Amino acid sequence: MRWIRMIVTLSGGGPGGRDWRDHPAGSPPFEVEDWEAEDLIRIGLAVAAPEGGEEPPQLAPMPHDIKQRWVDYAISQGEDPDIAPNMTKADLMSKYGGRL
């Protein structure tokens, strides 16, 4: 078993009757089978999380970082996962980085 954190919100069911709506992007990490974790990470739907699901506080990205890092950070800070990708990088930096 491995711990993951979803970075994309899915709908519908998963293996073993899991409802993906219970694990939207940015929600707390959860445990899945090894093969499922590898598949979700490989196709860019999830990232690995530390064992036990506890993650250290995330530092704000640097101004030169790509927009996706800012989107991921905004979601980790509570931004709606459906809204964050549609914000401009400047908006994300202004709201979550204390920059601009």
**Any idea which residue has 């890092």 for tokens?**
69
What is the residue-averaged pLDDT of the chain? 87
Q: What's the CA gap between 2 and 77, in Å, rounded?
A: 23
Q: What's the CA gap between 97 and 81, in Å, rounded?
A: 17
Each residue's pLDDT, cut to its tens digit, for the chain (100 residues) gives 999 989 889 988 888 788 999 999 888 899 999 999 999 999 989 888 888 766 666 778 888 889 998 998 888 888 899 999 999 999 999 998 866 5
Return the pLDDT at 49. Answer: 86
pTM here is 0.55
Q: Count of residues for the chain? A: 100
Return the pLDDT at 100. Answer: 57
